[in-house]
Structure 1
Amino acid sequence: MTERVIAVVTAGLTTPSSSRLLADQLAAAVRDELSGRGVEARIEVIEVRDHAHDLTNNLLTGFPSTELREVLDTVAAADALIAVTPTFSASYSGLFKMFFDVLDDKALAGKPVLLGATGGTERHSLVLDFALRPLFAYLKALPVATGVYAASTDWGTGATNLRTRITQAATELVAALNHEPAHQTDPYENPTPFEDLLNS
């Protein structure tokens, strides 16, 4: 069976964190999508908080520790990346940015990426388009069209809507891995009959 390596970079600050929870759900959806195609997925999860001191030392000295070098090499060698950050001041966290600051600027060139972010309110959902996409465009990565933002309400009554976005994003990432055009769901494909609208 063919194997694909998916690196998951999550920058939550607490244990557990909503960023890690979202990252795990995204990774599981990608694994399920690959499995449905007869492809095995090896998920490599990187908790950035575990490497905070090494990242700081790397920025100060210009050299990564042995452990940090292994983590950076894992991301560079992966077939695809899932990157999830908590939202701070309407942008990605400093810890998240620090990780990609020390990563070789060619490591993500041409690599499919699924972007995710978490926050307390839906008002910060544009962090995906106004902060994360420009960063990964600079790194010459290939973010899929659907990013996934999860607010506090998405973990309760909004879980179904979140799951739909996760599934769509995972499908797009696997399509990008296989160099296929992503299938977009047409909201007008199955319209509600007019009679049903009148009766509702």
Structure 2
Amino acid sequence: MKVVVVSAGLSVPSSTRLLADRLADTVCDELSDQGHKVDVDVIELRALAAAIANSLVTGFPAPQLATAIAAVTDADSLVAVTPVFSASYSGLFKSFFDLIDPDALTGKPVLIAATGGTPRHSLVLDHALRPLFAYLRAVVVPTGVYAASEDWGTGGSAHTEGLPARIQRAGREMASILVTRADGPLSEDDPASSRKQLSDLRFD
């Protein structure tokens, strides 16, 4: 299974990249525990910023950018993580996905995540990222993960789910989708198909 991680973090080190790595590690651990071999490819958009801008203008991606686009297109699943700018995904993040063929993500599982300085931006997951990938006809993992500055190093409380728990839950959901597909999807005409896929996403 090939998992491609797209990180739009701009700084070094980057909390966006840190979140991306933790999500990818969780997905890999879950799949490995079930006997599946996983290949992870990380795409740092920061290093491709100039090439992305040039490609938008000229229509011709540079070799390194073309390789990144091909990796996304050929992946079995994506982990897509962006910092929040002006209450939405970053321009760099959106510009990269503008270069992807509109049909390339059809049916592809995508785990969405974002980072920001305040918890007030957490709605970016449902108001920006989820609609973007729904438009591209991807299969968006039910749990999106948002990490504010104050989330790092906390484990949550009796009434709130901490960042580590959210990462774990999202990773398990992504792994469940991939394992279900690897084991052979049921026929779309089978009324049990949708029920099985939903039950696979229920966790204690």
> TM-score, normalised on structure 2?
0.86
For 1:40, the equivalent position in structure 2 comes to 37
- List gaps (5 residues or longer) in structure 2: 181-196
**Structure 1 segments of 4+ aligned residues over 6 angstroms from their partners:** none
Please state whether the residue corresponding to 1:39 is helix, strand or coil. Answer: coil
Distance 2:9 2:48 in 1: 12
How far residue 184 of structure 1 moved from its aligned partner, in angstroms, is 2.8
Distance 1:183 1:131 in 2: 23
Matching residue within 16, 21, 24 for 2:13: 16
Percent sequence identity is: 57
Matching residue within 48, 53, 73 for 1:56: 53
- Figure out how many residues of one structure are paired with residues of the other and give that number: 183
- List gaps (5 residues or longer) in structure 1: 187-200
For 2:170, the equivalent position in structure 1 comes to 169
> TM-score, normalised on structure 1?
0.88
Distance 2:34 2:203 in 1: 19
The RMSD of aligned alpha carbons is 1.3
Distance 2:38 2:65 in 1: 23
Give per-residue Cα distances to partners, 1:89-140, cap 9 Å, x unaligned.
Answer: 1100000001001111111110000000000111100000000011001111
Output aligned runs, 1:1-200, within 5 Å. Answer: 4-158=1-155, 161-179=162-180, 180-181=197-198, 182-185=200-203
Amino acid at match of 2:63: T
Please state whether the residue corresponding to 2:162 is helix, strand or coil. Answer: helix
Distance 2:125 2:103 in 1: 21
Give per-residue Cα distances to partners, 1:130-153, cap 9 Å, x unaligned.
Answer: 000110011111101000000001
Residues 154 and 163, structure 2, Cα contact 8 Å, conserved in 1: no
